[in-house]
Structure 1
Amino acid sequence: MAESFFLKVTLFYLVSLYLSLMERISFKPRKFFRALLTAAPYLLSGVSNFLIVFASSFAIETIGSNSFWILVALPFAWFGKIYLFISLVLVISVVFIIKYASNLERVLSFLDILLIMLILYLSLSKYPQIEIALVSCVFLAIVTYFLRKRWKTSLKKDIQTKNEELSAVNQELIALNQELTAVNQELEASYESLQILSEQLNRTIEFMGKIDLKSDPFPFLEKIFRDTKKLLEPLAGLELRRMDRRTLIGQKAEKFIHKSSKEIEVKLFFFRDLERDEENFLNSIVNFSFFLLNAHNSHLEVLRNNSTLSTILSSLEEILSVSNRTQLLEKVLRYLKDMFPKTVLSSLSIFEKETVETFFIRDGKLERVSPKKGIVVKALKEKRDLILNDVSDFPEFYDVTNGRAKAAAAVFFEYEGIPVVIEIERETGFTEFEFSTLRMMARIFAIFFSRLNLYRELRKTFFQTIEAFSYAVELKDPYTSGHSVRVSEHSQEIARRMGLPKQTIEKIKIAALLHDIGKIGIRGAILNKTSKLTEEEYEEVKKHPELGERLISKIESFSDIAKIVRHHHEWYGGGGYPDNISGEEIPIESRIIAVADAFDAMTSNRPYRKAMKKDVAIKILEKNEGFQWDPKVLRVALKYFKKI
C-alpha cells in the first residue's frame, strides 16, 4: 500500500515538473539517449523502476543539467522501491533548486502545479493516506506562501530600481531635448545667413567659369568683393598686392584675414568677430583671390618665356647671316633691347689694349664711349656677372639714359681670350628667368663673335647654340642638367650602330639637343616638384613636345627637326602623346631619341626620386619592348647601354 502511494506521489511530482517546464521540453536525440543510458543500470531492479528512472533522467536533462546525477539514487534501489522513489524526488529537487534558485517565478510555478496535483490526487484516490497527504499539502502551501512573498518583495525592488533608472534616463532625455532645441534655434538663426552666403558662393563660382587669365584680375576681384560686402556688413576692405602693384578696395580695419608670398599678398579686413560660417566663407574668398593672382602671374611668365624663346629662335638666322663686326654689334644690341620689355639701353663692352670700349645705340645710331667706372667696368675687372635691381645702390653707376634706367644687369664672357660684357638697363627689375636668359644669350653672342667668318667654326657654333637652348630648360629644372647633351650623344651612337646615313644622324643630334626645349613654357614649380604631379600638372607637362615643335618650326630649315621633337614621346605600340600614333608612323629619329631619353631619365637624379641603377633601367626597357619602344631600335640600344 505504501509503495503504491509513493509511486503515485513520484509520478505526480514528475508530471508537475514537466508541466512547469513545458516550454523547455525538446526531444533531442542526444538528451534522449543520455537519459536512456543513465536509466539502463536500473533494469536490474525491474522494468517499472527503469521507466520511472528514465522519466526522472529526462526531467533532469529538460531542467538543463546532466542526467548522470540520477545515478546517486542507484544504491537506494537495493533497499526497496519506496527508498528509490524518495531518492529520485530528492535528487530532482536538488538539481531543480540549484538550477533555478535565483528564478523564484519558475520555482513558484512548479510548486503551484505540484500542489494542484496533490489536491487532485487526494480527491480522486480511493485509499488516500490522509495524514501524509494533508501534511504535504500544508507544507507545500506554506513554502509556496513564503516564496511568493519573497518573490513579490524582490519584484517590487526590481520595479522600483527600473523606475529610478527610467526616471534618470527621462531626465537625460529632457536635458538632451533642451540642448537639441537650443541647437535647432541656433541653426534656424543662421539658416538665412547661410542662404545668403550660398547665393554669393554660387555667384563666385559662376564668375570663376568666366575667368580669362589674359585679363587683369584686379577688376574681377573687386567685383567679387563689392558683391560680398552687400551681404556681409562687417566686411571693410580688400587689399591686393602683386609684384610692385598694390590696390586697396574699401578701407582697412584692425581685424583681417590674409595670405601672402614673396610676390603676392591678399588681405581681407572686417570690423567685428566673425561667425564660423562667415570666417570659412571669407577664407575661401582670400584663397581664391590668392590663387587667381598667382595663376595670372604664372600665365604671364609662360607668355614671356614663350615670347623670349620665339624671339631667340626667329632671330638666330638673321644674326648668323651677318658678316662684319659693325653689323653684328648693331643687330645684337637691337635684338637685346627688343627681347626684354621696358629696356632703355642695351650695350656691349670689349676690353682691348687696356681700354674699355662700350657700344650702344642712341637715336638710331651706334655710338661708342670709353667709361672709367660703372657696372660694366666692374664686371670686366672682376670677370663675373652683376645685377642691380636698384641702380641707386651703386654710386659708381655710369648713366647715359638721363635717369631713365632704374635697374641694370651685366653678363661677362670671353671670345678668343678677349673679355666682353653685355649689359641691359631697364625701368624695372629683372626676374631670375630674364637674367638667366641674358646669360644664355651672352654665351650665344660669344660663339657668334669668335666664329664669325669660318664655316667650320660656324657649324660648331650652331650646335653650341642648340645646347644653349637646352640649357635654357635646365635653368628651370636643375635636375636635368646635361640631360639633352647626353641624350644627343646616346642617340647618335645608336643611329651609327644602326647604319643610318650621316644626314639622318645630323638631324638626330640637333633634335636630341632640342627635344625638351618646349619645357621652357612649363612652369618651374611643376618641373621641380618633388611630389607626385596632379592630373592637371601632368597634362601641362605633356604639352612640351607641341610647344617645342612650335618654337623650332619658327626656323624654316628646322621643319624636319620640329617634327622629330613633336613625336619623341609617342609609343611604338600606341598610347603616347601628343598624337597617339604608333609603329612606322613615328619617325625613326623620334623612336631612337625616345629610347635614349628614357634611359638617361631613369639613370639620372630627378626631384621626385634618385637615379636608378643601369641594370634596373635596362630591365624596364626590355620589359616594354614593342609596347613603348621600337624592338629594332631597342636591341641595338641595349647592346650599347650595357657597354657604357
Structure 2
Amino acid sequence: MFKSYRNRLFAIIFGVSVFVYLFSFVHIIKGIGNNIFTSILILLISVFIAMRESKYMSYPLEKLNEGVKRITNGEYDYNIDIDVTEEFAELSKNFNKMSSKLKSTYEELKKESQELIKKNNELQDLYMELEASYEQMEAVTNELEASESRYRTLVDNMSDILWFTDKEYNIEFINNRSLKFLDYLPDEMIGKKIFEYIDDDDKKLMEDLMTGKINMAEIKFKKRDGSTILTETRVKIVKNSEDELLGIQGLSRDITDYCNAKKEILERNRQILAIGNVTQLLTKNLEPREILYSIAEKISTILSSPLCTIRTVNESGKLELMVAAGELKDMLLLKELSLANDENVKLLVSKEITILDANKFPVDYGLLRRLKQLNVKNIISVPLISKDKAVGALNILTTSRLANDISLLRSVADSVSIAIENANLYDNLRNWYLRTIDALAYAVEAKDRYTKGHSLRVSKYAAIIGESMGLPKDEIEKLRIAGILHDIGKIGISDKILTKPGKLTKEEYDKIKQHPSISRKILEPIGLSKDIIDGIEKHHERYDGKGYPFGLNDDNIPLIAAILCVADSFDAMTSDRSYRKGMPFDEAVNELLKYKGTQFNPRVVDSVMSIYMRDRKKIEKIKREIEIAN
C-alpha cells in the first residue's frame, strides 16, 4: 500500500521536476541556446531529487504501517520513533501511547477473558449440578407428593378432629373426622369461625384456649342435629419468627364414651365405697343407734338425698323412727307409721323394694311442701330383713338416678339389718349390764345408809364434768360406768370400818386404802374397759402425788381418775355422814378451789367452776332427783 503511495509521490515530484525542466528548457532555448548536457543533468537531478524526496516523505508512513502490522499481530510492546518532522514526532508519540493503551486494554481484556472463561467453566459445572439437582428435586417432589398423599390419608383417617384457624379464628383446615363426629363436611366448615361449632356454655372456655390462657380443656362441640359431643381439646398457637400470630392449631378428641364409662366406674366405685363405709361403721366401737345414724347420714350424702330414715318394727307392731339424716332431718317427722297402711304392709310382707309417690307419703303439710320445693318425686322404701323376717324399713327421698339408687340401697340393706339386730342385742346386753352394775353399786351402798345414792350421783357429776371438758361420748359413757362402780372394792372392807362414826385408826385407814386395788380384782374378770378399771383404781390419787395406792402425780393420773376424784370428793362434802352434816354447795366449791393444784387436777376444778357459775341448777337437780328416788 505504501509502495504504490511512494510511486505516486515519486511520479508527482518527478512530474513537477519535468515541468520545471521543460519550463527551464524553454527559457534556455530562448536565452542560452541548445544545451543538451545541461538538460540531461537537470533531468537526472530531478529524478534523484524526486526519488529521495519520495522516500523521505514515505518513510514515516512505512514505519507507521509497520507499527500497525506489529500491533495487529499482537506485538503491543512495539514502538516507533519518527522524528522527521515535529508532526511525525507527535504522531509517533501518540502511536506509542496508543500501543501502550492497547497493551493495557489487551491485558485487562485478557484477564477478563480468563475470568469469563473461568466463570463459564463454573457455570458449566453449576449447570451440571443444577441439572443433577433438578433430577433430585424432581425425585423429591414425587416423593413429597406421595408423602403428602400418605399424610393426607393419615390425617383424614386419624381418630381425632384436627383443625387450623387463622388469627381471626376462621377455619382454614379441618380433617374428614368432622363428618363422622359433627356431621359436617370439611368444605362446609372452612371459612367459618370455630366458635359457631362450640356449645354456648363452653365458648368462654374455648376463648381461653384460643388466647393461650390454657392449653387443654374439655369442650363440647355442636353437631348438625343440635346435640353435642364432649371433646378433650388441645391447642397450639402458631407464630412466625417475628412473634406475629399466624393462627391456631387444634386437636379435639371425642371423649364422650370415655366420660360415660368413667361416670359408670365412678358410680360403681361410689356404691362399693358406700357399702365399704357402711360395713366399716359396723366394726366401730359406737352405740348401735349412732351406727344407724352414721349409716343414714352416709346414704343421704352419697345419694344427695334430702332425707334418709331408718324405721324398725316396735313391740306395738308399728314402724318406729330410729334415726333421720339429711337436710330435712329436723323437720317434723311422724314418730310411728301404722302398718294398717297398704303400702307399708305390702313392703314388709313382700320383702321387696317399693317406690312410693312422695305426694302420697304420710307426712305433715310443711314437709310435703318442702319436698315439692326440692323436686322430690319418689320415696324408695327398702325392707330390712333379719333372719328372714322384716324388722324395719330404710327410706330415701330421691329425685334422680332411680335405678342406681335402688341398686345401692339393695346392697347396703343387709348391713343396715345387721346394725338393727346388733342394736337390739346391744340394748338388751347394755340393759343387763347396767342392771348388773346398779346391783353391784346397791350392794356396796346397802352396807351404809349414808352412802345410798352416792355412786349414782358421782356417776352423773362425772358425766357432766366430762361433757363440759368436751370429751367424746364413749369417754363420757366410761365416766358414767366408772362413777357407779368406783367404790365396788369396799365390798371387801369390814362394815365396822366403813360405818365407824369416829376417826379411823392408821390400821383401819390402811384397810380403806386397799379398796381401789380390790375393785380391780373384782372388775377385771368381767371384761370391763381398761380405762374404766384404771380410773376406778386410781381415783384416790392426788395431783401433788400424795394420794394412793401408787402416789401418782400431775398428768400421770388418768383423766377419768382425776374427774372421779373431784366428783367423789364433791358429793362426799355435800352429803350427810354419820359423823357430820353435808356442806352447802358454795362451801364445797370453795374447798375444791382451795385444794386446786394440790389434791385436785386444776383443769377438772375449772370445769366444775364453769358448770357451777353457768348452770348451778344442773348440779342441784342431780342431787335432788336421786334423793327423791331413794
TM-score for both structures, normalised by structure 2: 0.30
Which is higher, the Rg of structure 1 or of structure 2?
A: 2
